[in-house]
Structure 1
Amino acid sequence: MPKKNPKELIQKSQDTILVDFYADWCGPCQTMNPVLDMALDELGGKIKLLKINVDKHPQLSQQFGIRSIPHYVLFKRGKILWRKAGIMTKKDLVQALKGFC
């Protein structure tokens, strides 16, 4: 995704966006990177990925109530459709997101 204000992207995008709240030092976050890529590929690019580093955007993390990472929030036109924290399998992630494509 282009480098823009993440909050603006979330609120104004017509696309369905999966926001990955993460930190560089977070082991489980690193573990989930290939899982996210594979799951979104399997969904045919219908859902866009936006990664938000909680250390660089603490106010955004606080606004969306992010208390643990990794944390995933699915948005469409600024509305939260789904959210989940923690590690997931590719199968579970695809299954959860499929209904929103």
Structure 2
Amino acid sequence: MNRRFRNIIKSEGLVLVDFYADWCVPCKQLEPIIKEVKENCNLRFRVVKVNVDKNPFIANQYNVKSIPTIILFKAGIPQWTGVGVYNVTELVNIIQNLT
């Protein structure tokens, strides 16, 4: 697994990993939602985007079969996994439950 990626997900605090592809329409729909949650909802978490076409090993490591897939990590351990597009309220509630 990519050492940099591993170090990021093991860092202190919550890390949201967005598994996506450039050609994926739902992935493009999810991107501004994640950005809005990050910028406007006063929640502390880090966002990392992983392109599954460029990083298939990382995607396989976490059993990503469909995109978009979001995995929330705390201290390197997956705490929650979701597939598909979530709205702002859903994503805020999920993150609040993990912080």
> TM-score, normalized by length of structure 2?
0.90
The CA RMSD measured in Å over matched residues stands at 1.4
Structure 1 position 100, deviation (Å) = 1.6
Q: What is residue 5 of structure 2 aligned with on the other side?
A: 6
**C-alpha separation in 1, matches of 2:40 and 2:90:** 12
CA drift at 1:44: 1.9
2:98 is paired with a residue of what secondary structure? Answer: coil
Query: Could you tell me how far 1:71 is from its partner in structure 2?
Result: 0.2
Q: Which letter maps to 2:88?
A: K
Number of equivalent positions: 97
- The 8 Å contact of residues 7 and 60 in structure 1, kept in 2 or not, is answered as no
Unaligned residue ranges in structure 2 (runs of 5+)? none
**What is the CA deviation profile of residues 2-21 of structure 1, one whole-angstrom value per residue up to 9, with x for unaligned ones?**
xx7212311x3112100000
Q: Could you list the per-position Cα deviations for residues 61-90 of structure 1 after superposition, in whole angstroms to 9, with x for gaps in the alignment?
A: 001000000000000111111110001111
Could you report, residue by residue, the CA deviation over 1:18-52 in whole angstroms, capped at 9, with x for unpaired residues? 00000111110011111001112244240110001
Residue from 76, 79, 82 that aligns with 2:77: 79
Give 1:1-101 correspondences, 5 Å limit. Answer: 5-10=4-9, 12-101=10-99
Q: Percent identity?
A: 34
Misfit runs of 4+, over 6 Å? none
Give the distance between the partners of 1:60 and 1:69, measured in 2 at CA. 13
Would you say the 8 A contact 2:43–2:96 is kept in 1?
A: no
**Structure 1 unmatched ranges of 5 or more:** none
